[in-house]
Each structure stands twice: as C-alpha cells, then as structure tokens.
Amino acid sequence: MPIAARVGGPDTRGAGSGPSPPVPRHDPEPIEARFPQLGPLAGSPGRHGRRRAQGRQLVPGPTDVRLSGVARLTPDSARRLVAAHPWSPAATPPAPLDAVAPEVPPGTARRTSDAFVRAVTWGRYEADFHFDPEQRIMVFDALNPTRARSVPPKGA
C-alpha cells in the first residue's frame, strides 16, 4: 500500500460546511515535506489533496488546512521509529478524514507517542499519529502542518 492523504475541504463528520472535497492527487511531497521523521515512504505515491478543516472541534477558523492520511513506511523507517520513541496503545482509534478512512487497513494496531508528536510538530500545530509497527502503517491527522525546518523554533 502506498500513501494516501487528503488535505482541505469540508469534513462530513462535524457541523459546518464548505467546498466539496478535492480530487485526490498522487504525490508524496506534502507528506515528506511536513513529516520527514517518517523517513522514506514505501511503494508508489498514494492519494492526497488540500481541504479546509471545517467542522472539527479543534479548528479555530475556516481557513485552516487539515492534512490527513495513511503512509506505509519502509522496514528501516519503521524500525527506527520503534527504537527512537516510546509507543503506547492508543485510547481511541485514529480519526482521519472520511475520504482517507477506507485506506486504513483492517486490523491496524493503534499506538501513539507523545514524544514522536513533539519531534514532528515542535508544538507549533496539533497532530495525531497512530502507528502500527508490524504493518509499517502510520495514520496521521494534522491541523495546519508546516514544512519541516532544520532547527526547532524558539521555545519548542
């Protein structure tokens, strides 16, 4: 399985409405640019698009962008993430955008890591990452993710 992600447009799970969802694109660049900590992605590029993040409880405004998706990691990337961060069973399942949810393989384990979230976001935006090390699957959902920088911002 390649990566699959969606960004921008209305979220049918919440109140609020907006433009219709965009047609997904096949390009790993938005994921790799924002989450380089995932390492190389396995397989060919999956789906993604841009969508406004309306109808989500943590959304402060209608111009926010939500990036949600599923990525299959390489074996080396999965081993590195297991070794680098403590992962615990998630209390709740991942909640990706409706258009991404079918891309989550059945039986995907749900493990989360606050340390991994801090390493990715540097506290600048909200994000959830659910990792299945055995299947090498990362389900992610981020609000206003920024492109990665080489140094953390002050105070992070």
Q: What is the pLDDT of residue 53?
A: 47
- Tokens 């096949």 identify what position? 26
Top-confidence residue, 39 or 152: 39
Question: Residue 76 carries which side chain, given as an amino acid letter?
Answer: D
- Tokens 């209390």 identify what position? 91
- Tokens 């993430």 identify what position? 81
- In angstroms, the CA 75 to CA 89 distance is 20
Please tell me which of 3-12, 58-67, 147-156 the model is most confident about, judged by mean pLDDT: 58-67
- In angstroms, the CA 75 to CA 42 distance is 8
pLDDT tens digits, residue range 45-98?
444 444 554 444 444 466 777 888 888 899 999 999 999 999 999 988 887 777
